[in-house]
Structure 1
Amino acid sequence: MQPQTTKAQSIKGKVKNSNNEPLTGASVHWLRSAIGTSTDSSGQFELQLPKESIKKLVISFVGYQSDTITITNETAIEVKLSGTKQLGEVVVKGKRPGIYISEISPIKTEVITQVELKKAACCDLAGCFETQASVQPQTTNVITNSKELRILGLSGVYNQVLIDEMPLIQGLSYTYGISSIPGILVDNIYISKGANSVIQGFESISGQISVGTKEPDNTDKLLLNVYANSFLEKHLNANYTFKYKKWSNLTRQGLGLEFKNWYPLFE
């Protein structure tokens, strides 16, 4: 600070940082007073003197420590503000439950994520719904262990099943096609009950089940899944992803052993 001791009706000054760079827009005001101003592009200011005998000038700027200076007969001052301690990078993480209601969908949509799918033995699409009550997997053929998906207690022919937004489950595949879709390929499932949009077809009378499969660029390069139960049913599933230039692919191979008979599940 460089004071000058001649009486005047105003005080001039300049606000800089520790690197002698001017601080534009710094706040300058008298303590306990509404009289104040801000610095210009060169960090300079001019402020009228108050009537109080004890004059204290407060200088502040975002990201810097404020400073309070007692003014006696000075007409010009120079103030340097030191920077405050900067916090390090803060990463905020949140966890969603395995099943939640979508906040962006215009209709009520229940979302089943990987967190919930890991709780079930998802050998096929029907197995993905073993841990929730919105969709009921119902066995339609005990010999082939074929299942259909029911919503609101109605048969599977009254709901629509989309695979990557495509209505691939139609006709007889409502009864026999659900078991041909491996659960290991499922990424997220979106369930909406009741009559919905008919953009993908007219079948969504009781509801719609939209299955999103895993993207090759955002999944494990190699994933092995083994399943066995008390009925001597065994499944071996493997996912393999590879990328070549602009092309990427996700290949799945699976074998099932049920009552000691081998058969391919999906290729």
Structure 2
Amino acid sequence: MISKQLLSRGVAVVVMTGMTSLVWAQSFTGSVVSADSGLPIGGASIKVKNQKISTSTDESGKFSLQAAKGSVLTISYVGYKTQEITVAGANGIIRLQPSTSDLEEVVVIGYGVQKKKLNTGANLKVEGEELQKRNQLNPLQSLQGQAPGVSITSTSGQPGADMKVVVRGLGTIGNSGPLYVIDGVPGGDISVLNAADIQSIDVLKDAASAAIYGSQAANGVVLVTTKMGAAGKSQLSFDGYTGIQNVSRKAQLLNAHQYKTIMNEQSLNSGAAAIDFDGMAGLANTSWLDYMFKDNAKMDNYNVALTGGSEKSTYALSMNYISQEDRRW
């Protein structure tokens, strides 16, 4: 056995019964920064692989620990890819790469965002590109069939009629429509927006996610995010389409003779006498449905947008023209 310990800088002597083991170690000092922005990362975890030696970076991203030369250090931080390096020198700068998948896997929760894996609410998101592909005059018409659990129907067959939206079933008697929040402003009218100007639509269907908006969110919340300008050169974009609309199938109406036959059968079945149509000669055979609908009704939708800005401010301007023929005369 060794009767006394030998301590010197860079040398540690471990004394054990019947044997002596020498472990050469050094003080490794370094700093952890973001490879994307170059800013220091505070709170990053530093561990010596396969050992119980660990530490974390301070607010300036610096750390220091004892590690043998050739040891492998594992550096990890939320939102960044875990990295392993080999101890080769006395100090060094470690650059962590952002984890794109972790940063993009977020969902809108009220006024902010939350990681997708942490979200247990019944929320759905529809991108603006999917709405624009439908070529509808109303964004809610484009949303039909793309939002499970959300019922969207037209209040009438009249072109340009309002859409009725019901989230997770009928709730409030009288007004069962959800709360619309456009770019953070509650109470907006989504029907005045053009699908080409919408970045995304998020629907908060459960009470937990919508609770932040209070009682006005009792029927659900529809969050609308419009497109914004970006720093750089100004961009001018144009989107438009034109087309015609027709009724796919019209109901077959009775002519004058068929109408008289049916009315007589109804009268006889109810125990009354047959109706005397002799004094009603010359009844017109008018198909009123042909006057209600216009064949090849023209529809136009044009949108012009100008976006741009600088590092200090951005802008987005757009103009939209919509036209839809709605009657025969």
Q: TM-score range by the shorter chain?
A: 0.5 to 0.7
**1:109 is aligned to 2:115:** no
**1:159 is aligned to 2:178:** yes
Partner of residue 124 from structure 1, selected from 138, 156, 172: 138
1:226 alignment partner AA: G
Partner of residue 227 from structure 1, selected from 241, 251, 257: 241
Asked if structure 1 preserves the Cα contact closer than 8 Å seen for 2:307 and 2:316, the reply is: yes
**1:206 is aligned to 2:193:** no
Correspondence for 2:149: 134
- Aligned in 2, Cα 1:214/1:26: closer, same or farther, shift over 3 Å? farther
Higher helix fraction (1 or 2): 2
- Aligned in 2, Cα 1:64/1:26: closer, same or farther, shift over 3 Å? farther
Aligned mates of 1:223, 1:208 — CA distance in 2:
30
Structure 1 residue runs of 5 or longer lacking an equivalent are 1-23, 28-32, 42-57, 67-80, 82-88, 170-176, 262-267
The percentage of counterpart residues that share the same residue type is 15
Correspondence for 2:252: none
Correspondence for 1:189: 201
Q: Secondary structure at the match of 1:221?
A: strand
Q: Secondary structure at the match of 1:240?
A: strand
Q: Secondary structure at the match of 1:217?
A: coil
Alignment of 1:89-108 (within 5 A): 94=101, 103=116, 107-108=121-122
1:181 alignment partner AA: L
1:210 alignment partner AA: L
Deviates further, 106-115 or 133-142: 106-115
2:168 alignment partner AA: L
Alignment of 1:6-21 (within 5 A): none
RMSD after superposition: 5.0
2:228 alignment partner AA: E
Deviation at 1:186, TM superposition (A): 1.4
Aligned mates of 2:27, 2:308 — CA distance in 1:
59
Asked if structure 2 preserves the Cα contact closer than 8 Å seen for 1:189 and 1:212, the reply is: yes
Deviation at 1:253, TM superposition (A): 0.7
Deviation at 1:34, TM superposition (A): 6.0
1:36 alignment partner AA: V
Asked if structure 1 preserves the Cα contact closer than 8 Å seen for 2:230 and 2:314, the reply is: yes
Correspondence for 1:145: 160
The normalised TM-score by structure 1 is 0.53
- Aligned in 2, Cα 1:91/1:120: closer, same or farther, shift over 3 Å? farther
Structure 2 residue runs of 5 or longer lacking an equivalent are 1-8, 13-19, 29-67, 73-84, 90-95, 246-297
- Aligned in 2, Cα 1:26/1:142: closer, same or farther, shift over 3 Å? farther
**1:60 is aligned to 2:70:** yes
Deviation at 1:236, TM superposition (A): 0.8
Deviation at 1:139, TM superposition (A): 1.2
Asked if structure 1 preserves the Cα contact closer than 8 Å seen for 2:137 and 2:322, the reply is: no
2:177 alignment partner AA: Y
Alignment of 1:26-65 (within 5 A): 35-39=22-26, 60=70
- Aligned in 2, Cα 1:187/1:36: closer, same or farther, shift over 3 Å? same
The normalised TM-score by structure 2 is 0.45
Asked if structure 2 preserves the Cα contact closer than 8 Å seen for 1:123 and 1:184, the reply is: no
Aligned mates of 2:108, 2:186 — CA distance in 1:
24
Correspondence for 1:48: none
Number of matched pairs: 203
